[in-house]
Structure 1
């Protein structure tokens, strides 16, 4: 595969993290299965959700403490590797190899391989090339964009020959798997694990809009979507691209953990668009008129919904005037499944 390596500014990497799904995220079920060596720093650090940090005075019995995965120096001509099981089999588009704080101990290059399998790999597994040997820069959020997306369940990252990597992100998309549901069963088509994705928002100063669509209920305020305090009027909003064309029957707006900063009220609109992100000319239809919200509570709306006889591809959650929401659910029927 042809691979395009871009040394991007921090803002581009942040935009990617805000708008794409990290298929390796531990919050979704991603895991580090094994590695060749993690003498200096443990392999499990690769999937930490937090940004890597550097503590100058911190050392362990093995050497300098580093916030990432770091192997010892190779003297045998071989390379070090790590195997990641993705949260779900998905379409991989871009991989971030984050070497922040690894300045004199980052690998010179990496190679990426993949499989699509229901079982974990073993020594007999035949890996396919995802990205050929690609140079990476130290102390940098290196982005490797694939020429064509690849459907993968597991990733093997090989460092050439050794060194340290702070974080690994595997960005892509998920498809709704209809074969795993009963005929006519309603589904949350906004959920990340079902292929939903946040595509745009007015503001995400405190936390990512993608958090709204994560499984389960939020663990704290950071595990949600929170905007800054508005001082210039207006209101905040967030657009979700549903996984499939959906007839919406129930929505949930959960303000769990947001006690002094929940929105006063909300509305929800929907549209049908062939575009990933609807433009300014899109005609939105109100499906939930203004509803009062409360602190630290999951709000379920059924009878309050309007215009539910149509099929929609996107929904827009409007919060007034600002604040935080923990989770957002859009439950309905896939077109053709009624």
Structure 2
């Protein structure tokens, strides 16, 4: 059996999926399955007896068997301008119909170039028309910088479906072109890296912990059901797996007791550390337990620290100070808290005793020192 080791870059933020803000802007062919499936947030599934009028239903992007000159390709707009550190091309369930080879190119498009892209209509059983192809060719995407050369893919069996690829480039991009040779299917594409957003203006309120503003998860205690990097996505959470959820702590008391303020008396807690996109002052916090109805945390606490330009590691004494004291949460609800922080670069989010939530927002201003 071939074992696929998950590389370190897969712990970085992801910028192609729909939940992160990724978007398909062009595809040569959507015959069996539309390109948007390839960047869906969910894991791919297979329904054995499901067919459409065009053929077998597949949970991914699948083009028709090529009977004209050329090869199939698509253009994706990434969630934000970012440095790409690695990719995952997942061929799950595409066993006799996966794309044999692929390559990736990238560009940083201007607003004017983006405006020139024709409006996409995503529809199964279709291919791009001559008008759209003529307009998209003005971008000369076939000449974009190459991030991944033509590379063989493996079939979508469980032991071979995950095709990871490290990228060696420090440039930042807004769009990528995904080439498949000559046709076939890909179940999912993930693009991992580091956001490089534009600097906000003075007095502009932004979400300092948003993925789109360059925030990133840099450590956590437990991520049994869902990774904490999910909670900084810009979109509303779609389900529990699209949030951060821990296992139930085994040291929780046999009989639950409450403190005077209504929070639980606990013997343990779980935490995650996030680097903010920009150093700044936090003025308001939202903790969203959307979809978490029987498994939300009892309370949440948020601390901040200033680490300059550095990252956080467990060995670092971050000198955390309190921004939000332990505060009671409830099921399937947005919880808003006013606060006032000094200039900080990192936050530590602690839930007690365990559980999960969907999203966190930290609205504030960037430090005047970097404007």
> Equivalent residue for 2:152?
135
Instruction: Show the 5 A alignment for 1:149-188.
Output: 149-179=170-200, 181=201, 183-188=202-207
2:273 is the alignment partner of 1:239 = yes
Q: CA deviation at 1:321?
A: 0.3
Larger deviation, residues 187-196 vs 100-109 = 100-109
CA contact (8 A) 1:93 1:150 kept: no
Structure 2 CA distance for aligned equivalents of residues 192 and 219 of structure 1: 16
> Equivalent residue for 1:99?
91
Instruction: Show the 5 A alignment for 1:225-236.
Output: 225-233=244-252, 234-236=268-270
TM value normalised by structure 2: 0.79
Q: CA deviation at 1:159?
A: 0.9
TM value normalised by structure 1: 0.86
> Equivalent residue for 2:363?
331
CA contact (8 A) 1:271 1:282 kept: no
Q: 1:40 to 1:255 in 2, by over 3 A?
A: closer
Q: Which has the higher strand share?
A: 1
Q: Aligned to 1:265, which of 284, 296, 299?
A: 299
SS of 1:50's equivalent?
A: coil
Q: Aligned to 2:325, which of 282, 289, 302?
A: 289
CA contact (8 A) 2:83 2:169 kept: no
> Equivalent residue for 1:253?
287
Q: 1:262 to 1:148 in 2, by over 3 A?
A: same
> Equivalent residue for 2:226?
207
* Per-residue deviation, residues 110-154 of structure 1 (Å, max 9, x unmatched): 121122112335212133122221222222211121111332222
Structure 2 CA distance for aligned equivalents of residues 185 and 39 of structure 1: 44
Q: Aligned to 2:46, which of 40, 48, 54?
A: 54
Structure 1 CA distance for aligned equivalents of residues 197 and 181 of structure 2: 36
CA contact (8 A) 1:73 1:163 kept: yes
Structure 1 CA distance for aligned equivalents of residues 29 and 329 of structure 2: 51
Instruction: Show the 5 A alignment for 1:302-321.
Output: 302-303=338-339, 308-309=341-342, 311-321=343-353
SS of 2:280's equivalent?
A: strand
SS of 1:27's equivalent?
A: helix
> Equivalent residue for 2:315?
280
Unaligned residue ranges in structure 2 (runs of 5+): 118-135, 253-267
> Equivalent residue for 2:137?
123
Counting matched residue pairs gives 323
Structure 2 CA distance for aligned equivalents of residues 298 and 93 of structure 1: 33
SS of 2:137's equivalent?
A: coil
Structure 1 CA distance for aligned equivalents of residues 61 and 237 of structure 2: 28
Instruction: Show the 5 A alignment for 1:19-58.
Output: 19-58=11-50
SS of 1:149's equivalent?
A: coil
Unaligned residue ranges in structure 1 (runs of 5+): 1-6
Q: 1:281 to 1:87 in 2, by over 3 A?
A: closer
Q: 1:82 to 1:8 in 2, by over 3 A?
A: farther
> Equivalent residue for 1:197?
216
> Equivalent residue for 2:76?
84
Q: Which has the higher helix share?
A: 2
Q: CA deviation at 1:217?
A: 4.1
> Equivalent residue for 1:4?
none
SS of 1:276's equivalent?
A: coil
